[in-house]
A and B are shown apart, each in its own frame.
Chain A
Amino acid sequence: MKPPSIRLRLLAASLVILPLFLGLTAWALDRAFGNYQRQAQQESMRLQQLLLAKAADWVGSEWRFDALDESRLSLLGSGLYAYVVSTQGDILWHSPSAGLIGDLPDPLAAAAQMVQSPDLYGTGIGDSRFEECVLDTDYFCLSTGVAWGSAGPESIFLIVESQARAIAARSAYRSYLLWLCLGAAVLLLLAQSLIVRWGLVPLRRIAIAIKRLERGKSDRLDGPYPDELVPLTDNINILLASEKRRRERVRNTMDRLTHVLKTPLMLIRNSRDEEHEFRELVQDQVTRMLGIVEGELAKARLDGAAADILGKPVPVQPVLQRIVDAYGRLPRLGAQFPGREGPDIDTSAVAADAVFHGEERDLQDLFGSVLENSLKYCRSQIAVGAHLTHEADEHWLELTVGDDGDGIPPGYEQAILQRGARADTTNIGQGLGLSIVVEIVSAYGGSLQVDRSDLGGALFVIKLPGAPPAVS
């Protein structure tokens, strides 16, 4: 199944996250507005209470209020009512407005019942309580306990105001908030869409550059690209360069094969059919051709190495140990080795931290071919080593394989590294192993040296770059 596009993914994520984010914001704003409204209401009712106290007077045995500054307290059913309640919960005075409260048939009886609530008449002297209460509908109630000097009784001044205005303001605010959030959501989606479009421009440029590659109008991805995409474009360019080199090598291989195989084939075709000589000639030329084909195949296989320069470094020890274990079980050719036991292969000098920056198969072929050679020529001992070195500001991986054989005869050190060449003719084989080693070492920019081992025989020293190739 095709994965969804990046734009679709971001849009889907926004559709999930945006409502959550905006919903949470709206809820917080609504709650803050509610708290503000309640505080404002409390302040307004406290002012009414002070005005009521200013107008109040205890005359004889009753409360008198000469002039009320707030006109709503004088207007019947205005929604703002004032009461003076005794500490026993009896209404001692009420504002003229409290004579009519909504549809209540007996507003005073309803108010008397309401003030029975301990939250209201239980208010101590100097204490204030702000509550929600119910008469015909929902109201805010502010009660304050007062002591009227030495002459008056302890009483409770109670202001009751309808919630209708606050509810209407809250509804209007919520409606405004809803439209604000919807507008913000649309704007955010639009902005995000534009940001995504702008953010994906470099990827679109890469896609266009790849199309140009496909059409053959370019042979690499030319920048500049943002830092985040540089590793991708660099690696694509490395692969492209490697692919180009591979194509060139294949073409060169084909040219070389055509050229070098034609000569022996012509020799065979032009020779006279004299049985013995002809047979010898065919044998020689076929052997030569096989050597050429094997060598070219080994070279061609190396072309795959470029892809792996992007991979992780290969730990050397397990690779070498696996080959030593497998090759150590091989029987030894020749009657001079009658025993069942193979040679002793010492791997104690293989450092655990040695790593190879390249393809594991190349390391296997490299080491396997050298070990195979030493197994062929040693008497009973082989010593294998691997460690990282630092020379001339460069890191190297050094592999060594030494044996206790007769060693390389003087003057043959370079010759044995060439394809098909061998220092001895007593062992049967194609003489290809060490030339393959040379091909691999050259491909990685390393070196191969032949020396004398401490064990007395030949010592092969392979140096390979100890750091990954630079990305350029």
Chain B
Amino acid sequence: MRFLIVEDHIGMADQLSRGFSDRGYSTKLVSNGEEGLFEAQEIDYTLAVVDLGLPGMSGLELIKKLRKAGNQLPIIVLTARNDVETIVQAMEAGADDYLKKPVYFEELFAHIEAVLRRVLGDPKLDEPVLEYGELSLDTRKRVVTLARERVELTRAEYEILEHLWRNAGRVQSKKTIADSYQRDPGADPKANSVEGLVGRIKRKIDPDKNLQPIETVRGRGYLFREAH
């Protein structure tokens, strides 16, 4: 899962980014509405956290433009204002939820979970441990085990696996997968390609090819099979 944070206050943005990173999520941080709009339109993020009081293009304008363009990215707005009118305006513009500043991380994540549950209808989001036969993935510890033996994955490999797993039963395009993880800096670009990474994940989590949880769908991308 990858989150977009649009926040102009440097301290607040760093704190948010750190909070996501502490929980093992990758984020993209931008400080104004124009960049936020570009990112949201170009990259397939799981959810965006948007501050309403942005310089230049406001958070409200950003949401309106995204929705007008047909973009359904789940959005949680942050507002320093306490009035109901601001919230109503944000919801009317197309936001999915709001939070008043100061933001507590537990509160923010409770809202993110609620929004993703409602918008994506993904019941797996609350399951801390995902299982497929002898294979399991603990989202809290960010650990993958096969027959109780730990499987060593790089950060990018783990993020791709979690993304595919959380979207089990739905084919994920290479672009969507590429957008879902943060590339390891300094890695060989070829080795860092989606094909290369998925291939390595397959070999690591299913060396004997007994389970075959990840299926390559020709011309469309990859599919994590649903557990029976």
Which A residues fall within an 8 A CB radius of B?
290, 294, 297-298, 301, 322-323, 325-327, 329-335, 337-338, 340, 361, 364-365, 367-369, 428-430, 432, 436
Contacts and interface: CB of A to CB of B under 8 A. Distances in A.
A334 B82 contact: no
Interface stretch (B4-12, B32-40, B112-120, B217-225): B112-120
19 contacts: A297-B82, A298-B82, A322-B88, A323-B88, A326-B87, A326-B88, A326-B92, A327-B88, A331-B111, A331-B114, A331-B115, A332-B118, A337-B114, A338-B117, A364-B85, A365-B82, A365-B83, A365-B84, A367-B84
Given A323-B84, A332-B114, A334-B114, 4 more contacts: A322-B88, A327-B88, A428-B107, A430-B100
A337 to B, nearest CB: 8
B88 A331 contact: no
Contact of B83 (A331, A333, A361): A361
A332 B97 CA distance: 10
B123 A428 contact: no
Contacts of A290: 102
B114 A333 contact: yes
B84 A338 contact: no
Q: Which 10 A-B residue pairings sit nearest by Cβ, starting from the closest? A: A368-B84, A326-B91, A331-B114, A331-B118, A364-B84, A428-B107, A326-B88, A333-B114, A333-B110, A365-B84
Interface in B87-105: 87-88, 91-92, 96-98, 100, 102, 104
Query: Do most interface residues of chain B lie in helix, strand or loop, or is the interface mixed?
Result: helix
A290 to B, nearest CB: 6
Interface string B122-151: 010010000000000000000000000000
Contacts, number: 67
B100 to A, nearest CB: 8
B121 interface: yes
Contacts of B100: 430
B63 to A, nearest CB: 13
Contact of A428 (B88, B98, B102, B106): B106
A428 B104 contact: yes
Interface of B: 82-85, 87-88, 91-92, 96-98, 100, 102, 104, 106-107, 110-111, 114-115, 117-119, 121, 123, 126
A326 B89 CA distance: 8
Contacts of A294: 82
A331 B117 contact: yes
B88 A334 contact: no
A329 B91 contact: yes
Contacts of A332: 114, 118
Contacts of A365: 82-84
Contacts of A430: 100
Contact of A330 (B84, B85, B91, B92): B91
B97 to A, nearest CB: 6
B85 A335 contact: no
A437 to B, nearest CB: 11
B97 A331 contact: yes
A200 B84 CA distance: 46
Contacts of B115: 331
Nearest to A428: B107
Nearest to A432: B82
A322 B106 CA distance: 29
Contacts of B102: 290
A361 B85 contact: yes
A215 B98 CA distance: 48
B88 A364 contact: yes
A290 B114 CA distance: 25
B126 A368 contact: no
A255 to B, nearest CB: 22
A380 to B, nearest CB: 15
B88 A340 contact: no
Most buried by B among A323, A327, A333: A333
B82 A436 contact: yes
Contacts of A337: 114
B111 to A, nearest CB: 7
A131 to B, nearest CB: 86
A430 B110 CA distance: 14
Given A326-B92, A428-B107, A429-B107, A368 B87 contact: yes
Contacts of B114: 331-334, 337
Most buried by B among A322, A329, A331, A436: A331
Contacts of A298: 82
A294 B79 CA distance: 13
Contacts of A331: 96-97, 111, 114-115, 117-119
A289 to B, nearest CB: 10
A338 B85 contact: no
B156 to A, nearest CB: 30
B91 A340 contact: no
Nearest to B92: A326
Contacts of A338: 117, 123
A429 B88 CA distance: 19
